[in-house]
Structure 1
Amino acid sequence: MPRNPGIADEIIVNMYKSGMSYSEMIPIIGLSDRGIRNVLYKHGVKMNREKSSGQPRKHSVNENFFKVWSHEMAWVLGLFWTDGHVHKQTNTISFSQKDEKILRLIAKLMEADYVLAPFGKTKITPTLNIYSKSMKMDLNALGIMPNKSLTVPFPDVPKEFLPSFIRGVIDGDGWVQRTGYVMNITTGSSQFASGLLNVFQTWDLRSEITTTNTKTGKVIYRVWVKGKFDLPKLADIIYKDANDYFIPYKRNFMTLHKKM
Structure 2
Amino acid sequence: MPRNKGITDDMIIEMYKSGMPYKEMVPIIGLSNRAIYNVIAKHNVTVNREPSSGQPRKHKVNEDFFKIWSHEMAWVFGLFVTDGTVSGNAHSINFAQKDERILKLVAKYMEVAYVVRPISTTRTVPILVINSKEIKNDLANLGVTSNKSLTLPFPDVPEEFMGSFVRGVVDGDGWVQDRGYVMNITTASYNFAEGLYNIFKKWNLKTEITNQLTNSGRKVYRVWVKGKESISELSRLIYNNCEENYVYTKRERLTQWIKETEVKYFVEIC
TM-score category, normalised to shorter length: 0.7 to 0.9
* Alignment gaps of 5+ in structure 1: 1-8
Shift of 1:153: 0.7
Alignment of 1:210-249 (within 5 A): 210-249=210-249
- Structure 1 runs of 4+ aligned residues shifted over 2 Å read 16-22, 34-38, 44-51, 118-121
Alpha-carbon shift at residue 45 of structure 1 (Å): 6.2
Residue 198 of structure 1 aligns with an amino acid whose one-letter code is N
TM alignment of 1:19-168, pairs within 5 A: 19-22=19-22, 35-38=32-35, 40=36, 46=40, 49-52=47-50, 54=53, 55-168=55-168
Alpha-carbon deviation of 1:20?
4.0
1 CA distance for matches of 2:21 and 2:113?
A: 17
Matches within 5 A, 1:168-247: 168-247=168-247
Q: Normalising to structure 1: TM-score of the pair?
A: 0.84
The size of the alignment, in residue pairs, is 242
Distance 1:91 1:69 in 2: 22
For 1:20 and 1:181, the matched residues in 2 are separated by 45
- TM-superposed deviation, 1:97: 0.4
Q: What is the rounded CA distance, in whole Å, between the counterparts of 1:208 and 1:176 in structure 2?
A: 15
Shift of 1:50: 3.3
Contact 1:184 1:225 in 2 (8 A): yes
Distance 2:215 2:72 in 1: 37
Residue pair 1:21, 1:51 contacting (<8 A) in 2 also: no
Q: Is the 8 A contact 1:181 1:227 kept in 2?
A: yes
Q: Is the 8 A contact 2:104 2:114 kept in 1?
A: yes
Maintained 8 Å contact 2:19/2:60: no
The structural deviation recorded for 1:58 is 4.2
Cα 1:163/1:57, change in 2 over 3 Å: same
| Percentage of matched positions with identical amino acids | 51
Q: Which runs of 5+ in 2 are unaligned?
A: 6-10, 261-270
Aligned with 1:223: secondary structure?
Answer: strand
